[in-house]
Amino acid sequence: MSSTNIVDRKTLAWIKEGVDETLKSVHHAPDEFLQNVDNTAPIEACIEPLHRVKGAVEMVGIEGAAILALEMEHLARAVVEKRVKQKTDAAEVLASGMLQLPGYLESLYHGQPDIPLILLPLLNDLRACQDKELLTEGEFFSPDLSVAVPLEVEGECIIQGDLPKVAKKLRPGYLAGLLGFIKEESIPESLENLILVLDNLKIASTTEKAKQFWWIALGVVEALYEQGLKPSVAIKIILGRVDRQIQRVIESGEQILTEDPPDKIIKNLLYYIAQSQTYNNHVVQLKKTFGLDYPDDDAVTKARENLYGFNVNLMGSISIQVKEELTSIKDALDIAMHANAGSTEGLERILARFSAIADALGMLGMNKPKDMISEQKQFLEPKIREGVTLSEEDLMGVAAALLHVESSLSDLGSSLDKDGIDSFLPPAEYENLLKLVARETLIDMQVIKNKIHEFSLDRSKREQLECIPQLLANITGALYVLQFDEEASLAKAINDYIRHELIEKNREPSDLSLDLLADAITGLENFFQAILEESVTPEIGLAVARESIGKLGYAASDSRNFQDFSDLPIVDDVVFAGN
């Protein structure tokens, strides 16, 4: 994963409206599920729209939104498959995600870089509901480890011989320095020992990978020495793992760092260099060489605070939802007071509503009303759990608090500046954006054609087909978001045929079948080509494509209920290396 990425505003505008509408169509689903957690139908209805959204944001390279949409899709699927224990928590987290995702896109539209780390708390909430291992900050950090060590004048090693011999003699000094640093005894002297050892290991190394490793480890220690990096348990562990690499060199020779490079350790070392605040020449050179622009804590915190500040439409939408939730709670309390004489029976369901309202108010930056709602939940929860009868005074107090929050929302609504909302793109600008995405899609179409051609030459090479379903799934999702429904259904039908017949059923296609498949793919390709070239008319090609895929038994339809492809392997950049 990259650390930051500035998303092109025009490209984002192309898909943002469609994503907002898609999520808006299912934003009531978590609340409907909370009414009856045994009925997973509302959550099941979210899976396909979330998959479409993932395909759209992935198509234009918005990494943070793609990760979030994928985790939401996984959680929704886990709920439907009965793999989630805390159903109420899962519904609340999904509801939060449906608000945060469009808010995140809106912040990117107004210049915020695509920093997936901003979404880390929500991502971990989504994973926690599934009992998955939580993500760490370092996992959002992937520098290019192929960078070479800059040429520089080096001194003479204090010990003569090859690297294993030097490492064997210097390791006791490294261990002594590491022990002092871990125990926080004579820290400056201990770090000086580490610097001396690492510097000489770098001088004694002859391979690029070995030099790179000691060079990076040395940068971390120098940052610690100059107090530009705070000592932590994690850093102590990482420096302990550096010692293991010294031991590996002693046992297996210098070449082991090339044959089996410690990339994970290197990545972690660079992560701490990126976090350091020192102006040491060595550290500055490392940052420049590896392009370490990882956002600091202040930048991430500020970005999280501003996540919803730009989206006036979103704020209005959240406000309406919160008012609906407040009305439901007030109705339930009114029944409890007048019809049930203060009985708390049946009020358990409103506790989840309090949590959802508090989260939504927090997103709007309304901290006082949020605290007020949280206080009312804390007051009611034990009484409802224990079946205590509420007094009229109790109920009136809660009702008064709810009215105050509702009034605050009304004030917010009247203060929203509708004139600040961006208007639709001019037709000419929209056309340019469409062409930009068409060019990117045609690259994927060429990959698909090449893979099928390779397969047609040797039908035993089934591995050539493995990446195709994911590429077509992304194209299908983008087409649906753009409301090119007929073309999307064609892409889906092509995908269904390849996935079911050629991959899952492992059938041997005839030459005629492959010709029909080629016609279908060419027709879809012509559609995108027509966006780029006015001289191309795609109608005939699309008609032939629909007829061809129909002859293969997979007729294109207008239905949006296309199958999910998330269970297939995710295609990464390696797939495209040879094309």
Q: Is residue 495 included in any domain, yes or no? A: yes
Closest to 49 in 3D by CA, of 496, 483, 481, 485: 481
Task: Check: CB of residue 76 under 8 Å from CB of residue 18.
Answer: no
Residue 572: partners with Cβ closer than 8 Å, 6 or more residues away: none
Give the CATH number for residue 9.
Answer: 1.20.120.160
Token pair for 510: 């005839």
Residue 38: partners with Cβ closer than 8 Å, 6 or more residues away: none
Q: Are residues 32 and 75 in the same domain?
A: yes
Q: Are residues 223 and 243 in the same domain?
A: yes
Q: Is residue 547 included in any domain, yes or no? A: yes
Domain boundary among 363, 393, 419: 419
CA neighbours closer than 13 Å in the CB half-sphere of residue 355 = 18
Q: Are residues 415 and 432 in the same domain?
A: no
Residue 13: partners with Cβ closer than 8 Å, 6 or more residues away: 109, 422, 425, 433
Q: Are residues 409 and 458 in the same domain?
A: no
Residue 127: CB atoms within 10 A of its CB come to 17
Q: Are residues 135 and 5 in the same domain?
A: yes
The CA distances from residue 358 to 92, 127, 322, 326, 347, in Å, are 11, 21, 9, 11, 18
Residue 386: partners with Cβ closer than 8 Å, 6 or more residues away: none
Residue 393: partners with Cβ closer than 8 Å, 6 or more residues away: none
Q: Are residues 553 and 462 in the same domain?
A: yes
- φ/ψ of 509, rounded to 5, equals -80, 145
Domain boundary among 392, 419, 446: 419
* Number of domains, the chain: 4
CA 279/CA 256 separation, integer angstroms: 33
CA 556/CA 550 separation, integer angstroms: 7
Q: Is 271 helix (H, G, I), strand (E, B) or coil?
A: helix
CA 26/CA 534 separation, integer angstroms: 37
Q: Is residue 275 included in any domain, yes or no? A: yes
Identify each DSSP E strand in 100-168 by its residue range.
none
Q: Is residue 124 included in any domain, yes or no? A: yes
Q: Which residues of the chain have pLDDT under 50?
A: 1-3, 309-312, 415-429, 535, 558-579
**Domain range for residue 431?**
427-576
Q: Is residue 503 included in any domain, yes or no? A: yes
Token pair for 362: 């927090």
Full-model pTM: 0.46
Q: Are residues 438 and 541 in the same domain?
A: yes
Closest to 174 in 3D by CA, of 270, 245, 268: 245
Q: How would you class 168 by CB atoms within 10 Å of its CB: exposed for 0-12, middle for 13-18, buried for 19 or more?
A: middle
Q: Are residues 546 and 511 in the same domain?
A: yes
Token pair for 228: 């530009």
Give the CATH number for residue 486.
Answer: 1.20.120
Closest to 3 in 3D by CA, of 302, 216, 267, 220: 267
- b/e string for 448-471 if b means 16 or more Cβ within 10 A? bbebbeebbeeeeeeebbebbbbb
DSSP state of 339: T
Q: Are residues 409 and 526 in the same domain?
A: no
Q: Is residue 182 included in any domain, yes or no? A: yes
Q: Are residues 348 and 485 in the same domain?
A: no
